[in-house]
Amino acid sequence: MNFLKLPFLVNLTLVVVSVIGVGYLLVLGQSILAPFFFAFLMAMLFLPIATFMERRLRFPRSISTMTSVMIMLVILTGLIYFFGSQLSNFSKDLPHLRMQFNTVFHNLQKWVSETFHVKIDEQLGYIDQGLNKLLSSSGVILGFTFGIFSTGLGFILFFILFFIFILNYRRVLNNFIVNVFNEKHKTSVQEVVTEIRIMTKKYITGLCLQVLIVSILASIVLTVFGVKYAVLLAVLTGLLNVIPYLGIFISLLISCFIAFATGTPSTCIYVVIGYIGVHIIDGNIVLPFVVGSKVKINALFSFIGIILGEHLWGIAGMFLCIPAIAIIKIIFERIDGLKPWGKLLGEEEKPHKKKKSYKISKNITLKEMD
């Protein structure tokens, strides 16, 4: 029985049930699926390195895999050391920050009292009530903190194991995905697998370049305006910028927070203007040439993906949602009944003149012949 010839309501019911079932399985398997998908993305990034060691240096598969793991661990250790040393320096300025915030808080209380006619004693009473509620739930807070810590360690452990297995058994996994389908679909499936592998490698590479460029631009902006911990905030901005739309806003709040605590209110205004400039350069120059050409997802479904990713997998889901949508788009574009959904996820196609399109198709044909 053909699925596409079923009545509309039956098709709609099956689609809704399937979406609910997939969503439930994603939530249920978060602790395994999230590190697995992240390990898959990183394995695609390190795949050329492992292939080079096996073909050119004649390394066995296991040696090339462990070498790739060591390179990745060195990079992660360097990032952890950088953030650790920067945060250690930041902790030394905590007394100064506390004094600065006390002054700002006193001025804010005075302004609220004069503007809204709320006495300072009443303001302190409201704050004391909030603190009492917060302290009464300290057991919940400690449990939540311990849960985050243990979950983070579990994520890293599973990520490293999955990374090793995917690199080491990549040929077995590829053959399974191709051979599990019908013989007449093997060619299409192999094309989809190859396209996903190439797209993922290019996307992760472009994303790393974007993080580097945004970090350099943010570092220049913060250094020019004399904001303390400019390098730390710049690297944090580059990493958070991986989350589309929300990341730059969160990093802007953190940078303004530090600039206000260690400088003057006018510095915050300069930082906001500088970050707007960085975002304009990133969105119109860096993103189209470095990342945008690799993954063409429209802004609407990028934002929906961020919300769903955060709801399903938390912060990890916000980082992984865009490559996941890109993979789904590639699969949809290869299935006849799902091609409209693939176009819906992509960007709007701009019409080209016939003369211009003829030249493009001619160049493509020549490249393919070469």
Q: Which residue has the higher pLDDT, 138 or 349?
A: 349
Q: Are 342 and 325 in contact (CB under 8 A)?
A: no
In this structure, what DSSP letter does residue 314 have? T
The predicted structure's pLDDT at residue 304: 87
Q: Are 257 and 222 in contact (CB under 8 A)?
A: no
Alpha carbon separation from 310 to 7, 246, 304, 314, 326 (Å, rounded): 34, 12, 10, 4, 17
The predicted structure's pLDDT at residue 74: 92
With cut-offs at 50, 70 and 90, classify the pLDDT of residue 80: confident
The predicted structure's pLDDT at residue 107: 73
Indicate whether 349 pLDDT > 80.
Answer: no
Crossing angle of the two packed helices 186-224 and 170-179, in degrees rounded to 10: 130
The predicted structure's pLDDT at residue 12: 79
Q: Check the CA dihedral 175-25-318-235 and report its sign.
A: negative
Indicate whether 99 pLDDT > 90.
Answer: no
The predicted structure's pLDDT at residue 217: 93
Indicate whether 88 pLDDT > 50.
Answer: yes
Residues 6 or more apart in contact with residue 308 via CB below 8 angstroms: 317, 321
Alpha-carbon gap, residue 33 to 27, rounded angstroms: 9
Q: Count other C-beta atoms under 10 Å from residue 287's C-beta.
A: 19
Mean pLDDT of 251-270: 83
The predicted structure's pLDDT at residue 2: 47
Q: Which range has the worst mean pLDDT, 89-98, 130-139, 319-328, 347-356?
A: 130-139
Q: What's the mean per-residue pLDDT of the chain?
A: 77
Alpha-carbon gap, residue 219 to 106, rounded angstroms: 32
Indicate whether 356 pLDDT > 60.
Answer: no
The predicted structure's pLDDT at residue 273: 92
What are the tens digits of pLDDT across the range 171-229?
Answer: 888 888 888 877 777 787 888 888 888 877 887 888 888 889 999 999 999 999 888 88
User: 């320096």: which residue's tokens?
Assistant: 89
With cut-offs at 50, 70 and 90, classify the pLDDT of residue 118: low
Which ranges of the chain would DSSP assign to H, the alpha helix? 8-28, 30-55, 61-92, 94-116, 120-136, 138-168, 170-179, 186-224, 230-240, 246-262, 265-281, 299-313, 315-334, 339-345, 354-369
The predicted structure's pLDDT at residue 351: 57
In this structure, what DSSP letter does residue 6 have? S
Alpha-carbon gap, residue 293 to 316, rounded angstroms: 24
Q: Are 304 and 325 in contact (CB under 8 A)?
A: no
Cβ burial 215-242 (10 Å sphere, 16+ → b, else e): bebbbebbeebebbbbebbbbbbbbbbb
Residues 6 or more apart in contact with residue 96 via CB below 8 angstroms: 262
Mean pLDDT of 147-161: 71
Instruction: Give 47: exposed, middle or buried? Use CB within 10 Å, 0-12, 13-18, 19+.
Output: middle
What are the tens digits of pLDDT across the range 30-70?
Answer: 888 889 998 988 888 888 889 899 888 889 998 999 999 99
Q: Which range has the worst mean pLDDT, 62-66, 126-130, 167-171, 294-298?
A: 126-130
Alpha-carbon gap, residue 334 to 194, rounded angstroms: 12
The predicted structure's pLDDT at residue 133: 57
In this structure, what DSSP letter does residue 335 have? S
Q: State the DSSP string of 18-59.
A: HHHHHHHHHHHTHHHHHHHHHHHHHHHHHHHHHHHHHHTS--
